[in-house]
Amino acid sequence: MKKSALVGVVVVLGAVWTGTAWYTGQKAEDFVNQSITNANDSLKTLSDKWGIGSKVELVSFERGVFSSTARYRVKFTLPAADGKPAEDRDVLFVEHLSHGPLPLSNLKTGAFMPAMVASDFALEETPAVKEWFAATKGATPLTGHYSVSYAKNITGKFNLAPVEVAKGDTNLSFSGMTGNVEYATGTDHGVFDLKTDKLVLSGQSENSDIVSMALQGITLTSDMTPASNDMYVGSQKVTFKDWTITSKEKPPVQFKDTTIAVDVTEANSLMGAKMALDFGMINVQAKDMAGMKLAIDVQKLDSKAFKALNDVYEAASRRMMQSKGEEQTPQFTPE
């Protein structure tokens, strides 16, 4: 091949790459705007239930040929209470978007599959999260990376930085958390897993004999898909490798290899639910005493009736949580 022909091929490939990246940048901006609309629809549903207004806003979008920078604001409006007016809290995020078909941020991590866009995002410091930034001792509390395919499926990961907080007699030590997420926008099928090494909370309380609680080896896995009644079916599991409770008067209690697993299924118009609580071993005063397992299995539940029952329980639970401690358990109406 002649040198001039080779140069021509390189120029053509460069032009195609540039044009594709520019076009993909437009599609990425459309995806961002649609995602914000979808997020606000979901947040409105939550706001109507819990009375805490929330909204996502696109502060700015600077689009380039190969990459773009976006900033988002998540605004929370706390309702008026105890004679105080309603209060707005803002949380800001910044993300750097690499355009497809082969986003540079993906290539840097060894991911060579084509993608519409890839993002590196981070929480920015605002008065609402100033104490969180202080607790991480200068590290950005929340960062992450995600990739969006041309089919608009999302694959990503995030990191929560370690935190150390001391207020009066109360101390919190958190080793940080990592998470992986997969989400199919067409079916709303979501898969994620979370992992953290340690969470320790200690301090005196007037209402409890417990002075410290330490959790180690925490994992959470979830694989959920919407059911026909707008609930979700699938499996969720929480595991604690070690869970130790220390009290003032009573001996320490240690739970080893604790798991909580929930599975919900749907077949035609019937649903089933299984829940298993498993304490691998209970240790008291440094002695292994016994393991314990509780399992509940309910099948052939009418889908619409199960949804109605769940709605009643959620409403009662919300009233309890919004009662500011006046209700210790959910109170149900005669209906």
The span from the CA of 93 to the CA of 40, in Å, is 16
**Helix (H) or strand (E) run with residue 4 in it:** helix 3-50
Quote the radius of gyration of the chain (alpha carbons, Å): 25
Structure tokens at 283: 């240790």
pLDDT attached to residue 152: 85
The span from the CA of 243 to the CA of 249, in Å, is 18
pLDDT attached to residue 12: 39
Structure tokens at 308: 């109605």
The span from the CA of 81 to the CA of 87, in Å, is 10
* Best CA proximity match to 194, nearest among 214, 176, 178, 174: 178
Whole-model pTM: value is 0.81
* Best CA proximity match to 332, nearest among 321, 314, 308, 316: 316
Rounded to the nearest angstrom, the gap between the alpha carbon of residue 7 and the centroid of all alpha carbons in its chain is: 49
Amino acid at 266: E
The span from the CA of 26 to the CA of 168, in Å, is 52
> What SS3 class is residue 205?
coil
> What SS3 class is residue 190?
strand
pLDDT attached to residue 66: 77
> What SS3 class is residue 25?
helix
The span from the CA of 140 to the CA of 128, in Å, is 14
> What SS3 class is residue 291?
strand
pLDDT attached to residue 11: 40
pLDDT attached to residue 7: 41
Q: Please say whether the beta carbons of 148 and 117 come within 8 A.
A: yes
Q: Which residues of the chain have pLDDT under 50?
A: 1, 3-17
